[in-house]
């Protein structure tokens, strides 16, 4: 009997993922599963919107790959990784569990993580800042409707691109960069997050929520957003020396950031 050889995984200190949106049609569980198989991490931080209960309430969608993501995370927690779950707004039902454990998984409202090089990073989902960036209810509703539409288009476009052999490309991501209002929203969100980190006296913040991966310094605070697994297919990783980077993981994998830190994390094959 032949066994398919598995490439040895990369080894990192921590991975930070958020906005997986299991139960939502646009979730790229396939890329995420491949990422989780390829990377061995001491710490796995899941920073909100792991399960999209909003979408599940509208229609139940739960393919095997979505179940597999949960199974993989639980298996990692049982086999030596520290797995921390910080629920977001789409899975706020789970916020009742904050401060307790779900089996081998720690559940927190937010958490300070110290990197290998001693930086204290505040981990939270990011919907905490919705009030700071609000544009009013009408614009918010229009924005949400447009967003749904864009994700729908993105899904179709991706299927088409795949058929013709092109790699993943995010329409929603592209549009967010084109629309000035969206860009202003992103700026306001990032600034609010950095302000909050400063008042908490930490060196930086790691969040998700806006599906916009980023790593930049804002007034002396390191703002990191690990992105999402609907559009960007990104995670933040910390290497053994505490260096942080944003990885995109689709057919092609690439380092999107750092833009403020020298070097890229050393992705060492596991021994
Ligand atoms: Mn969210």
Q: How many angstroms separate the alpha carbon of residue 68 from the centre of ligand 1?
A: 21
Determine how many CB atoms are found less than 10 A away from the CB of residue 163.
Answer: 8
Give CA angle at 135 (131, 139), nearest 5°: 130
Q: What is the pLDDT of residue 263?
A: 47
Residue 4 DSSP SS3 = coil
The verdict on residue 216 lying in a domain is yes
What is the share, in percent, of the chain residues with pLDDT greater than 90? 66
Q: What is the mean pLDDT of residues 9-26?
A: 95
Instruction: Give the domain CATH number at 167.
Output: 3.60.21.10
**Structure confidence at residue 139 (pLDDT):** 58
Higher pLDDT, 195 or 271: 195
| Residue 140 scores a pLDDT above 70 | no
Higher pLDDT, 43 or 163: 43
Q: Domain span at residue 127?
A: 10-269
pLDDT at 144 over 70: no
Q: Does residue 5 sit within a domain?
A: no
Q: How high does pLDDT run on average in the chain? A: 86
Q: What is the pLDDT of residue 172?
A: 66
Distance 138 CA to ligand 1 centre (A): 19
* 62: confidence class by pLDDT, cuts 50, 70, 90: very high
pLDDT at 177: 64
Query: Which pLDDT does position 271 carry in this prediction?
Result: 40
CA of 91 to the centre of ligand 1 (A): 8
How far is ligand 1, taken at its centre, from the CA of residue 210, in Å?
7
Distance, CA 49 to ligand 1 centroid (Å)? 5
The reply to whether 145 falls in a domain is yes
Indicate whether 181 belongs to any domain: yes
Cα of 269 vs centre of ligand 1, distance in Å, is 33
- Residue 122 is assigned to a structural domain of this protein: yes
Give distance in angstroms: CA of 53 to centre of ligand 1. 11
Q: Quote the number of domains for the chain.
A: 1
Average pLDDT of 61-89? 97
Span 81-134, pLDDT tens digits: 999 999 999 999 999 999 999 999 999 999 999 999 999 999 999 999 988 877
Q: Residue 188 pairs with which residues in a beta bridge?
A: none
CA of 89 relative to ligand 1 center, distance in Å:
5
CA of 72 to the centre of ligand 1 (A): 22
- Return the structure tokens found at 129: 């800042």
* Domain membership flag for residue 90: yes
CA distance 259 to 238: 15
pLDDT, one tens digit per residue, over 180-230 is 677 788 889 999 999 999 999 999 999 999 999 999 999 999 999 999 999
Query: Is residue 1 in some structural domain?
Result: no
Who has greater pLDDT, 142 or 128? 128
Centre of ligand 1 from the C-alpha of residue 87, in Å:
9
**pLDDT (0 to 100) of residue 142:** 65
Cα 264–Cα 265–Cα 269 angle in degrees, nearest 5: 130
Q: Is residue 62 part of a domain?
A: yes
């Amino acid at each position: 009997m032949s066994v398919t050889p598995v490439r040895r995984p990369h080894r990192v200190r921590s991975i930070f993922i958020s906005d997986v949106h299991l139960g939502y049609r646009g979730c790229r569980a396939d890329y995420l599963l491949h990422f989780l198989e390829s990377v061995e991490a001491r710490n796995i931080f899941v920073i909100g919107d792991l399960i999209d209960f909003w979408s599940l309430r509208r229609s139940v969608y739960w393919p095997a790959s979505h179940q597999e993501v949960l199974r993989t995370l639980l298996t990692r927690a049982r086999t030596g990784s520290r797995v921390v779950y910080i629920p977001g707004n789409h899975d706020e039902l789970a916020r009742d569990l904050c401060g307790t454990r779900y089996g081998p998984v720690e559940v927190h409202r937010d958490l300070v993580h110290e990197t290998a090089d001693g930086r204290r990073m505040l981990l939270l989902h990011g919907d905490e800042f919705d009030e700071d960036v609000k544009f009013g209810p009408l614009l918010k509703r229009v924005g949400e409707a447009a967003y749904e539409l864009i994700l729908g288009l993105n899904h179709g476009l991706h299927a088409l691109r795949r058929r013709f052999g092109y790699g993943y490309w995010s329409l929603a991501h592209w549009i967010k960069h084109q629309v000035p209002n969206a860009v202003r929203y992103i700026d306001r969100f990032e600034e609010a997050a950095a302000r909050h980190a400063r008042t908490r006296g930490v060196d930086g913040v790691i969040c998700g929520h806006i599906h916009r991966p980023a790593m930049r310094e804002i007034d002396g605070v390191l703002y990191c957003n690990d992105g999402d697994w609907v559009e960007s297919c990104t995670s933040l990783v910390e290497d053994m020396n505490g260096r942080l980077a944003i990885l995109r993981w689709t057919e092609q994998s690439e380092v999107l950031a750092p833009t403020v830190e020298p070097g890229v994390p050393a992705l060492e094959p596991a021994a």
